[in-house]
Amino acid sequence: MEIKKLACAVLFLFVAFYAQAQKENYQKESFIQDGDTLKYRIMYPKDFIDTNQYPIVFFLHGAGERGADNETQLAHGSALFASEESLENYPAIVVFPQCPKEDYWSNAKVNRKSRPVSLKFKYHRKPTQAMHMVMELVDELVGKPFVKEDQIYVMGLSMGGMGTYEILHRKPDTFAAAIAICGGGDEKGSEEFAKKVPLWIFHGAKDDVVDPQLSLEMASKIIAYGGHPNVTIYSEANHNSWDSTFAEPELLPWLFAQKK
């Protein structure tokens, strides 16, 4: 029994060390504009050379990872790109901005008293300050000579999935592909990007935080506007459908195969 406990402890320490090592691949940065600051983490490919060009991925985290520590936003998704396999097979620049605690990626009225939460999206209004700063950061980074203009991607989960739909609506000509996990948005706002951006939508059928119907309605409207989204619904997954999404063997091959 003691040997088993020791083995488990060693394994736990190894996993914790490995996870921390992966997070350290992401450099801490701040984007400052007009007196406002957006903190973000950025990972460059191994053996990065600024005279070469690389794809870039923007990852929008969920509401639970909001803050100002420039750490918490790496909780979900960062390991997907920082694994040895991904670093070797999919060299890319990966960016994790952090939304401030009091803000939201999407301009939406959120009622957390209901389950699932009640959401009303307001794409007709100006973006939130957090979304505005993300869009400015996108413009700043994709203008760098080492970024491939035909391989700019965005993805996000929960609140970040909502932000993914909204940034596609507001910048429909920027992204080569997008992944939205357990999100939702203004379905009518998808007309701007339906035919322009390949999209893979994920959701858990048992999600009691963000209604999976939001993803289905978004997919349906995109199809009505002439798009062809991929849709994956996990029959047994609750809100954390990102775990199943990140385990999809075709996720990164599909993403990086998309070019404008």
> Tell me, what's the pLDDT at 145?
98
Is the CB of residue 68 less than 8 Å from the CB of residue 102?
Answer: no
Q: Give residue 5's pLDDT.
A: 57
pTM of the predicted protein model: 0.92
Q: How many CB atoms lie within 10 A of CB 174?
A: 21
List, in sequence order, every residue forming a beta bridge with 232; answer none if it has no partner. 202
Per-residue pLDDT tens digits for 145-178: 999 999 999 999 999 999 999 999 999 999 999 9
Angle (CA) 61 250 14, round 5°: 60
Residue 45 CB: number of other CB atoms within 10 A?
A: 18
Q: Which domains does the chain have, with CATH numbers?
A: 27-257 (3.40.50.1820)
Phi first, then psi: what are they for 77, rounded to 5°? Answer: 105, -25
* DSSP characters over 7-62: HHHHHHHHHHHHHHHHHTTSEEEEEEETTEEEEEEEEPPTT--TTS-EEEEEEE--
Q: Are strands 230-234 and 177-181 parallel, antiparallel or unpaired?
A: unpaired
Rounded Cα gap, residues 48 and 236, in angstroms: 40
Closest by CA position to 229, among listed 190, 172, 185: 190
Residues of the chain predicted below pLDDT 70: 1-22
pLDDT of res. 66: 99
Q: Is the dihedral of CA 126, 69, 147, 194 positive or negative?
A: negative
Tokens 């203004």 — which residue? Answer: 186
- Who's near 253: CB < 8 A, 6+ residues apart? none
Helix (H) or strand (E) holding 74: none
